[in-house]
Amino acid sequence: MSTPHNNAEKGDIAKTVLMPGDPLRAKYISEKYLTDAKLVNEVRGMYAYTGTYNNRSVSVMASGMGMPSMGIYSYELFNFYDVENIIRIGTAGAVSSNVKLRDVVLGLASCTNSSYADQFGLPCRPVAAASYELLRKADDTAKEMGINVHVGTLLCTDTFYDESETLAQWKKMGVLATEMESAALYYNAARTGKNALCICTISDCPLTGESCSAQERQTTFDNMVKIALSIA
């Protein structure tokens, strides 16, 4: 079986998939954490690997940037590859003053300025929310590991360079961090009756100007990866 975006065969991809945005981060995770990892997709450079972690089959696949890309890959994984759980592991920008560089955020729900949900033909925009079971496990696991996490609402936006300058207003609404993929993932999971969770590491603070380097984004955000793998 294959799609225009994925040349993996049926059975090549595990029931649980970790999805970083960056293909190189997927490669890094597979090499560092998985046993007997096999490259199962390389169409458009969106690498996917399947291996084992603690004797469980796990896949890691890049999602690319933004909701259209996440929308395509998560849709195909849920609908064509029988994937049950997708855990996004990516970077985010801090919005709340309580969230600092390298902190881990679990996305309880996702506000969005995207029209992605219009396809469902509903009279209003549905809530984009994480799967409770994955969220609960991730929160419990983080506590057991001694990793402090923030649990709350994300802002999922279509624009990285945004001239509207509304982050201060979203901060007043209790948003913890902003990123670009969670809403599409949560909508696709809800529509297919599958499970999804977004776990993010804070890579920059748009309201203060602080940021991590590209190398740090790629290789040093291991706490969120450890949490994700532990609940896979």
Q: Is 216 exposed, middle or buried (0-12, 13-18, 19+ CB in 10 A)?
A: middle
Exactly one of 12, 22, 103, 204 is catalytic; which is it?
204
Taking a C-beta distance cutoff of 8 angstroms, is the pair 54, 60 a contact? no
What are the distances in angstroms from CA 70 to CA 32, 88, 141, 175? Answer: 24, 9, 26, 21
User: Annotated catalytic, 204?
Assistant: yes
DSSP assignment, residue 3?
Answer: B
Tokens 């994700």 -> residue? 228
Q: Which residues contact 101 (CB under 8 A, 6 or more apart)?
A: 94, 202, 203, 204, 205, 210, 211, 212
Instruction: Enter the tokens of residue 217.
Output: 């984004």
Q: Which residues are catalytic?
A: 204
